[in-house]
Amino acid sequence: MSETGKKGASRRAVLGAGLAAGGAVAAGIARAQSADPLITDVQDWASSFGDAVDAAPYGTPIHFESHVVRRNVEWLTESPVSSINFTPIHALEGTITPQGCAFERHHSGAIELSKQDYRLMITGLVEQPLVFTYEDLTRFPRSITTAFCECAANGGMEWGGAQLEGCQFTQGMIHNMEYTGVPLRLLLEEAGVKPEGKWVYAEGADASSNGRSMPLEKAMDDVLVAFYANGEALRKEHGYPVRLVVPGFEGNMWVKWLRRIGVYDQAVESREETSKYTDLMPDGRARKWTWVMDAKSVITSPSPQAPIRHGKGPLVVTGLAWSGHGKITRVDVSLDGGVTWQEARLTGDVKSKALTRFHLDIDWDGSELFLQSRAVDETGYVQPTKNQLRDIRGLNNVYHNNGIQTWWVRADGEVENVEIA
């Protein structure tokens, strides 16, 4: 495998030998036939009836999976109504995030807004200001988009060094859903954007309103006024009945409980946006309008919350990669902290501005690993190391940490969040 890392030979000595990887690993997984009561005896579940069909009109995950839930970090914010929790990405597979465990970020709590009470206004530099009811929206031609929504603060706690044990907390401010809705372009065309209109300001119905400005070109491109996610109505916490889907852009632009679209000749500065969603640079200047999420990836298993329990031999290494600039074209995985890399399989469909699943099947010899993944997107952008990011952006910054994550897999299979210099 090609070696693109530039680390010295001393690291190798520390890491030890025997990181056999790649190739076919089909043999040696299943046990030889034995007198296993689970095979030889009649089980309870085969001796009586199961639940009737109407036991749960709307199903929830079986209780064996009750650990697969959103979690928060209590010390992170002062109040749970202006807070964030995290998707259990260490325990999910594929690419679609079920709504029930998709992270939530509210500035003033999740509100309850019925379809009957729902109104969407289009105001500002338009020929005809309009108000839509929910039913009005359902009469426009629809489109379907799968997109990731990543909070700009994802990974923000890791700028100073490895801090939180698990990708749920370090990279879990992300979800990926299939949305159905009306292209915002169609609603803007209905109202008729005046030639002076250059910016679109979107606002929610909650107390925070979460007002955000985006260039008109983006609004006319792939932005969706969405009412379904993963085939069903949006959940309350994700903006029921209508939210904005802004593919590739940071999560705070994805206005929930969408109530107003204003067209203006310049960006409307909401107070919060100027104070919060900027990237403070080492020289005291701030990067602004950094909406597009750069390419990033993380190994979801093994990881601190998903240690290796089965011992050495065949091991599936898997993770997620994404880019706000388009499709993921390649993910490399390193078992030795970035000294050597091998290309992972991109499994399933690779969609633009959506999560991509990758797998690498290895034969683990039981020695420690320093697992890393590195995403490349269709623009040729290569996910940087955390130190490369720090060299440019310094340590004052909270947002847009897309640096390479390192997991230290110990010989006993336990995994820790670490950084290698």
Interacting residues with ligand MTE (CB under 6 A): 102-107, 149, 151, 175, 204, 206, 208, 210, 237-238, 251-252, 254-257
Phi/psi-derived region of residue 294, left when phi > 0, alpha when psi is between -120 and 50, beta in every other case: beta
Residue bearing tokens 């995985």 = 333
Separation in Å, CA 221 to CA 15, 294, 327: 48, 19, 17
In angstroms, what is the minimal distance from the CB of 358 to ligand MTE?
23
Query: Which does residue 204 bind out of ligand MTE, Co ion, none, counting CB within 5 to 8 angstroms by kind?
Result: ligand MTE
Q: How far apart are CA 354 and CA 321, in angstroms?
A: 9
DSSP 75-144: GG-S-TTSEE-B--GGG--SSPPPGGGS--EESS------TTT-EEEEEESBSS-EEEEHHHHTTS--EE
Q: How far apart are CA 85 and CA 204, in angstroms?
A: 20
Which H or E run contains 208? Answer: none
Q: How far apart are CA 224 and CA 177, in angstroms?
A: 13
Q: Which is nearer to ligand MTE, 119 or 359 (CB)?
A: 119
Q: How far apart are CA 44 and CA 55, in angstroms?
A: 19
Instruction: Show the site string, 91-130: x = touches Co ion by CB under 5 A, - = not.
Output: --------------x-------------------------
Query: Which does residue 106 bind out of ligand MTE, Co ion, none, counting CB within 5 to 8 angstroms by kind?
Result: ligand MTE
Mark the segment that binds Co ion (CB under 5 A) among 66-74, 202-210, 223-231, 249-257: 249-257
In angstroms, what is the minimal distance from the CB of 108 to Co ion?
13
In angstroms, what is the minimal distance from the CB of 356 to ligand MTE?
19
Instruction: Show the site string, 250-279: x = touches Co ion by CB under 5 A, - = not.
Output: -xx---------------------------
In angstroms, what is the minimal distance from the CB of 121 to ligand MTE?
15
Q: Which is nearer to Co ion, 105 or 327 (CB)?
A: 105
Instruction: Show the site string, 150-169: x = touches Co ion by CB under 5 A, - = not.
Output: -x------------------
Query: Which does residue 132 bind out of ligand MTE, Co ion, none, counting CB within 5 to 8 angstroms by kind?
Result: none
Closest chain position to Co ion (CB): 151
Q: How far apart are CA 376 and CA 421, in angstroms?
A: 22
Considering CB under 5 A, how many residues would be counted as binding Co ion?
4
Mark the segment that binds Co ion (CB under 5 A) among 245-253, 259-267, 291-299, 367-375: 245-253
In angstroms, what is the minimal distance from the CB of 115 to Co ion?
26
Q: Which is nearer to Co ion, 77 or 387 (CB)?
A: 77
Separation in Å, CA 142 to CA 138, 162, 182, 222: 8, 43, 5, 12
Residue bearing tokens 């040696």 = 28
In angstroms, what is the minimal distance from the CB of 386 to Co ion?
21
Q: Under a CB-based contact definition with an 8 Å cutoff, are residues 390 and 355 in contact? A: no
In angstroms, what is the minimal distance from the CB of 151 to Co ion?
3
In angstroms, what is the minimal distance from the CB of 67 to ligand MTE?
20
Q: How far apart are CA 287 and CA 266, in angstroms?
A: 18
Contacts with Co ion by CB under 5 A lie at: 105, 151, 251-252
